[in-house]
Structure 1
Amino acid sequence: MSKIVFITGASSGIGESIANYLHDKGYTVYGTSRNPKKGSTPFQMVALDVTDAASIKKAVTEVITAEGKIDVLINNAGKGITGPIEDTPTAAMKENFNTNFFGAIDVIKAVLPHMRTQKSGTIINTTSIAGYMGLPFRGIYSASKGALELVTEALSMEVKSFGITVVNVAPGDFATNIAAGRYHTPIFEDSAYKEKYAENLALMDAHVDSGADPRIMATAICKIIENKNPKIHYKVGGFMEKFSIVLKRILPDKVYEKLLMNHYKL
């Protein structure tokens, strides 16, 4: 029997690439989105809003009823957010955490009882290389992804005795439509950060537009699923993106901060 894979946020971008790739490899894939269009993908789609507990329960129940199990959960649904910390509405920050952090946890909570019963399962949380560092004008996004990184570590230890593996995959910039779906704090005319934020907003969007092929992420995810003893943390991105994490570990704080400020022209 092929493994049953459950992927949140599979209607576009990295999630869709992962779902298509695993489907082509022979996995039984269930992708999710808030408003799935039937027949629009070669894999099956179910409705799921990660910020709605009832929606999560319904989607998980639907797959369990149809297949009897979920072997792999890929927590991929996420939203971007940009803006100076001072200018960004707190409500927008909370909404971002509800999707990127609490949403992922609620899906995990819905799937775990089934994985414990079958005494096996793999949970893969998609975070971001941005979660390893506080990036200017992306601080809330960095924080939400960094928080999920730490929860992955804790959860891995908590569920290991049940035969469940928990893995984190942090991608760099990939060519997706994430920029279009981001919450962008407006560039306020009276903002102290007006010029620098405007410059960096254009830079962030350019990085996504010139990003790598999402199939690279899909290939990495497939290798993790097929690995009988995967690591806890994986980074998937360009050399400099991954090297930036190494630099953060070895350089003094102020030196690393200066490098980032130079990069972002601050």
Structure 2
Amino acid sequence: MSKVILITGGSSGIGKSIGEYLTKYGFKVYGTSRSPEKYTNHPFKIVGLDVKDMKSINSAVAEVIAKEGQLDVVINNAGVGITGPIEEIPEAEIQHNFDTNLFGPIKVIKAVLPQMRKQNSGLIINITSIAGYMGLPYRGIYSASKGALELLTEAFRIELKDFNINMTNIAPGDFATNIAAGRFHAPLKEDSPYKKYGSVLQDIDDHVNKSSDPVHVSKMVLKVINTKRPRTHYKVGAFMQKFSIVLKFILPDRVYEKMLINHYKL
């Protein structure tokens, strides 16, 4: 039987790319959206799910299991971007980012684990970010939420080892998606002491617009699904983005910090 796959945030961007790619390889794919009625002609089935709402998550998971009798792979892809000086980002936006990028995946994982234990099999892939490996200026909240998910996976892997359930992270760099359109930007204020934020924001958007096709992430997802014992961490992106993680671990902290300052012209 084909593996049944659930992708949160499967209506656009990386999630849609993953779903389309896996559908071509014969997997039974379900994506999620808070407004599934908008996607009647989607390349794969979209079910209603809000990662901030446990009742919504349980309902979506139950729907997939009722239709298919199994749930083999869950991909925590739903996420939101956020930029701005940490001091100037409203608390409500910080909470929303962590609710979506961290607490949402935790809720989804809790919802699917009973079925995976029952099957004595399962794979959970958390889509994180290369930004989660470093505290990037004016993206600190995003870095923190994705970095926390990376560490959470490390703990989960050990706790789940007796149940034949695998968990892994895939950390993309910048890819050409519509994430910038849905990202919260702290407003540029004339009286703000953070005068350089505007130029960094422009640099962030330029990198996304000039980036590669997200199909590269989809190919990595397929590779992980076909791997018997997935590693804890995978990175997908431009060479220098991935190499920046290596430098983070081998350079003294102050040298790496200076490198980021120079990169962003701060």
TM-score, normalising length: structure 1: 0.99
The CA deviation at 1:230 is 1.2
Find out whether 1:25 has 2:25 as its counterpart. yes
- Once residues 196 and 66 of structure 2 are traced to their aligned partners in structure 1, the CA distance between those partners, rounded to angstroms, is 52
Counterpart code for 1:59: A
Amino acid at match of 2:61: V
Counterpart in the other structure of 1:201: 201
Q: Which residue in the other structure is 1:57 paired with? A: 58
Distance 2:174 2:248 in 1: 18
Aligned counterparts of 1:220 and 1:2: Cα–Cα separation in 2: 19
Q: 1:252: Cα distance to partner?
A: 0.5
- Structure 2: 5+ residue stretches without partners: none
Q: How far did 1:42 drift?
A: 2.1
Amino acid at match of 1:263: H
Is the Cα–Cα contact under 8 Å of residues 130 and 171 in structure 2 kept in the other structure? Answer: yes
Q: Aligned partner of 1:180: which letter?
A: A
| 1:185-237 Cα shifts (integer Å, max 9, x gaps) | 001121100x3001011110001001110001000100100111111100001
| d(CA) in 2 for partners of 1:183, 1:49 | 18
Report the residue type matching 2:258 in the other structure.
Answer: K
* Percent identity of paired positions between Structure 1 and Structure 2: 63
* Partner Cα distance (1:87, 1:38) in 2: 36
Corresponding residue SS for 1:205: helix
Taking the aligned partners of 2:248 and 2:39, their CA distance within structure 1 comes to: 45
Partner of 2:215: 215
Q: 1:216 and 1:73 mapped to 2: Cα distance?
A: 19
Quote the Cα distance in structure 1 between the aligned partners of 2:189 and 2:68.
Answer: 51
Residue pairs, 1:221-260, within 5 angstroms: 221-260=221-260
RMSD, aligned CA: 0.7
Following TM superposition, the consecutive aligned residue runs of length 4 or more in structure 1 with deviations greater than 3 angstroms are none
- Partner Cα separation in structure 2 for residue 113 and residue 7 of structure 1: 18
Alignment of 1:30-109 (within 5 A): 30-36=30-36, 37-109=38-110
Aligned mates of 2:170, 2:145 — CA distance in 1:
14
Q: Where in structure 1 are there 5+ consecutive unaligned residues? A: none
Task: Determine helix, strand or coil for the equivalent of 2:216.
Answer: helix
Count of aligned pairs: 265
TM-score normalized by the length of structure 2: 0.99
CA distance in 1, matches of 2:92, 2:19: 32
- Aligned-partner SS, 1:32: strand
Deviations, residues 124-163 of structure 1 (Å, cap 9, x unaligned): 0000000000000000000000000000000011011100
Opposite residue 164 of structure 2, the aligned amino acid is G
User: Which position in structure 2 is the counterpart of 1:153?
Assistant: 154
Structure 1 residue 38, shift from structure 2 partner? 4.0
Aligned-residue offset at 1:112: 0.4
SS in 1 for 2:203: helix
Secondary structure of the residue aligned to 1:77 is coil
Amino acid at match of 1:214: P
Corresponding residue for 1:177?
178
Output the amino acid matched with 1:51: K
Give the C-alpha shift of residue 40 in structure 1.
2.2
What is the letter of the counterpart of residue 261 of structure 1?
Answer: I
Q: Report 1:157-168 matches (<5 A).
A: 157-168=158-169
Q: Does the CA-based 8 Å contact 2:248-2:256 persist in structure 1?
A: yes
Matches within 5 A, 1:130-149: 130-149=131-150
Counterpart-to-counterpart distance in 2, 1:262 and 1:215: 31
- Give 1:125's aligned residue: 126
Shift, 1:39, TM fit: 2.5
Q: Is the 8 A contact 2:11 2:39 kept in 1?
A: no
What letter corresponds to residue 118 of structure 2 in structure 1?
T
Question: Separation in 1 of the partners of 2:247 and 2:160?
Answer: 32
